[in-house]
């Protein structure tokens, strides 16, 4: 009987491991599969809560996710109830962060996805460059240029981690190291070819964070200098590529025109958001100042400056767009989430097993890329729940 119980527990553990691996890998391959697995995961969390079979832990970000969902649902119910379904999709799926998984299982999932995504990235880059050069479209497995830019960013750091890990272990140039570096360069240029400025910026800022981290942990110029060089090179070449592709001649533009081009005319949308916030303060709308106007409030609030933009969100700098929807409380919560994630990475310590450090970074960096890449809206992306559960896995592994 005891043997049967042990086998059952092992089977249950394997099911959870397989589920998490499939969820993470499917995020790069198919949005339908990803949503299917997210749904399964949320159902299991509900089952675990009701049955008490699995202990649900809060984690570093848990209380902030709960508070953010409360703010979003409350403001939407009060001011824009017809968007309650959209509010559920946006913040409800974030509860996948609470999926119960222990430390050892988390480490195994990170290891397996670290290897599996390496292969997925190779296939994705082949598809991306084939479609770019032969079909004239920027696409990997799903989505368009925006997703291609996001996935290229994630793949670039994945291959960078493999390259640095290889170098630190072998301490010499070898064929595997060269292959990692080639994939890294192809991924970086994938970000540039996709032409998404937000992920060029995300790559650059994430690289700066890693430079400081690696300088602290390894104190080796051979590790730091190549990252700095490639990061600066990618930013400069990205700007040149995008401006040349779109026939921009910045010398003939005014400063205002350059801002409009760089932001895809979101400067006008920012003025819309500022006008809404200013009106709230002028008219003393305390509730709106605190919790915002609800999900997709742009559908009913005015757009005095961006009349040609029909949109449900004020997609400008996320501090403005999120303030309009979720108020000062929502923005504060989101800033705290970003702070907690960056603090987690900044306080990582040098591991005796170098592979473990890169596994922790593998789980954390996709979420950092999301923060920097989503400069216009904080939550509006279907892949965010996956990056949250990956970060949770890193949390579990890092827990002493």
Average pLDDT of the residues in 144-167: 89
> Each residue of 247-264: pLDDT tens digit?
545 454 444 444 444 445
CB 389 within 8 A of CB 348: no
Closest CA to 187 of 176, 207, 174, 203: 203
The Cα 150–Cα 165 span in angstroms is 23
Average pLDDT of the residues in 141-153: 89
The Cα 340–Cα 33 span in angstroms is 30
Sign of the dihedral through C-alpha 303, 306, 309, 315: negative
Question: What is the reported pLDDT for 3?
Answer: 52
CB 375 within 8 A of CB 197: no
Question: What is the reported pLDDT for 258?
Answer: 43
Three-state SS string across 252-308, please? HCCHHHHHHHHCCCHHHHHHHHHHHHHHHHHCCCHHHHHHCCCCCHHHCCCCCCCCC
CB 54 within 8 A of CB 101: no
Weakest-pLDDT range from 102-111, 174-183, 351-360, 378-387: 351-360
The Cα 27–Cα 23 span in angstroms is 6
Q: Sorting pLDDT into bands at 50, 70 and 90, what band is 285?
A: very high
**Farthest-apart Cα atoms in the chain, separation:** 81
Average pLDDT of the residues in 375-394: 85
Average pLDDT of the residues in 90-113: 92
């Amino acid at each position: 009987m005891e043997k049967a119980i042990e086998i059952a527990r092992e089977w249950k553990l394997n099911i959870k491991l397989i589920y998490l691996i499939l969820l993470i890998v499917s995020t790069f391959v198919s949005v339908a599969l990803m949503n299917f697995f997210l749904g399964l995961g949320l159902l299991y969390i509900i089952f675990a809560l009701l049955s008490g079979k699995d202990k649900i832990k809060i984690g570093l970000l848990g209380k902030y996710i709960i508070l953010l969902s409360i703010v979003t649902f409350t403001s939407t119910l009060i001011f824009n109830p017809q968007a309650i379904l959209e509010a559920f999709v946006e913040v409800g799926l974030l509860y996948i962060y609470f999926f119960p998984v222990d430390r050892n299982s988390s480490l195994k999932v990170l290891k397996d996805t670290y290897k599996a995504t390496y292969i997925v990235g190779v296939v994705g880059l082949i598809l991306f460059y084939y479609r770019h050069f032969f079909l004239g479209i920027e696409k990997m497995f799903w989505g368009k240029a925006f997703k291609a830019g996001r996935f290229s960013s994630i793949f670039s750091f994945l291959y960078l981690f493999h390259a640095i890990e290889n170098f630190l272990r072998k301490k010499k140039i070898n064929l595997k190291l060269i292959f990692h570096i080639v994939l890294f360069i192809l991924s970086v240029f994938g970000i540039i070819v996709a032409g998404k400025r937000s992920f060029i910026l995300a790559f650059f800022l994430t690289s700066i964070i890693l430079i400081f981290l690696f300088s602290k942990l390894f104190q080796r110029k051979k590790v730091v200098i190549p990252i700095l060089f490639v990061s600066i090179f990618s930013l400069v070449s990205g700007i040149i590529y995008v401006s040349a592709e779109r026939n921009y001649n910045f010398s003939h533009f005014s400063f205002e025109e350059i801002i409009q081009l760089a932001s895809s005319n979101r400067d006008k949308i920012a003025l819309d958001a500022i006008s809404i916030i200013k009106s709230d303060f002028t008219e003393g709308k305390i509730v709106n100042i605190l919790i915002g106007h609800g999900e997709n409030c742009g559908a009913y609030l005015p757009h005095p400056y961006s009349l040609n933009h029909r949109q449900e969100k004020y997609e400008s700098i996320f501090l403005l767009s999120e303030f309009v929807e979720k108020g000062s409380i929502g923005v504060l919560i989101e800033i705290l989430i970003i702070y907690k994630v960056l603090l987690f990475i900044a306080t990582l310590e040098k591991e005796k097993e170098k592979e473990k450090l890169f596994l922790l970074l593998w789980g954390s960096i996709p979420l950092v890329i999301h923060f920097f890449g989503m400069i216009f809206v904080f939550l509006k992306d279907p892949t965010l729940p996956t990056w949250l559960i990956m970060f949770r896995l890193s949390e579990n592994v890092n827990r002493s």
